[in-house]
A and B are shown apart, each in its own frame.
Chain A
């Protein structure tokens, strides 16, 4: 079964850090670009970050640039999101989503995890 499973969320203080993980299975992880998408409570979807299959191309939303870093370990079929200098407005469910095998601009987010909740609060 093709799936991705996120982990690592929790309660963090403003200014703190957390590292999210996404474990992929059932497909050739190293062939696909991957993405993080978040959703604040009661709000819409917001794309966060994208990483190409070979890590050569990384794109971030303006709202997280310089604070969040996406990475991947193709040998372990895993995607990560290092989140530093967290703000209250970063509180959201963070979803891992599979992209595609070509250019990231042509990605189709066709496989989503169940999400992991990050709460930033003092």
Chain B
């Protein structure tokens, strides 16, 4: 079981807004910044959001991140079919002295 808790699945229809949560504890999300990764089938993960709410160059502004207390969220606005894939949150854990990933959320575009 992952240190960070993500819903295993999420879904939405094209054009909708979907949010994916990532729940942690004081030693990880409560103390450090959260990054989000997108992984398309059969490919390496790709950085989607860093430092809670920053987008790397090239990532559409439909993707946004936020953090409050010991939880973080990834929001995807104007959902598109190509957004259907897996999403992971990640953060440094001060107690474990290492990185922890959420279990991943599989997003389905209906």
Query: Hey, which bits of chain A sit against chain B, CB under 8 A?
Result: 35, 37, 44-47, 50, 59-62, 95, 97, 104-110, 112-115
Number of A-B contacts (CB under 8 A): 61
Q: How far is the CA of A122 from the CA of B51 in the complex (A)?
A: 43
The answer to whether A44 and B51 have CB atoms under 8 Å apart is no
The answer to whether B47 and A108 have CB atoms under 8 Å apart is yes
Interface residues on B, range: 20 to 34
Who on chain A is nearest to B94 by CB? A105
Who on chain A is nearest to B32 by CB? A105
Pick the most buried of B2, B33, B45: most chain A CB atoms within 10 A of its CB. Answer: B45
The answer to whether A110 and B47 have CB atoms under 8 Å apart is yes
Pick from B33, B90, B100: contact of A109, CB under 8 Å: B90
Chain A residues, Cβ within 8 Å of B50 = 108, 110
Who on chain A is nearest to B43 by CB? A114
In order of increasing CB-CB distance, the 8 nearest A-B pairs are A47-B99, A112-B44, A105-B92, A44-B104, A108-B50, A45-B101, A110-B47, A59-B98
Q: How far is the CA of A113 from the CA of B35 in the complex (A)?
A: 18
Chain A residues, Cβ within 8 Å of B62 = none
Q: How far is the CA of A106 from the CA of B99 in the complex (A)?
A: 10
**B95 → A minimal CB distance (Å):** 11
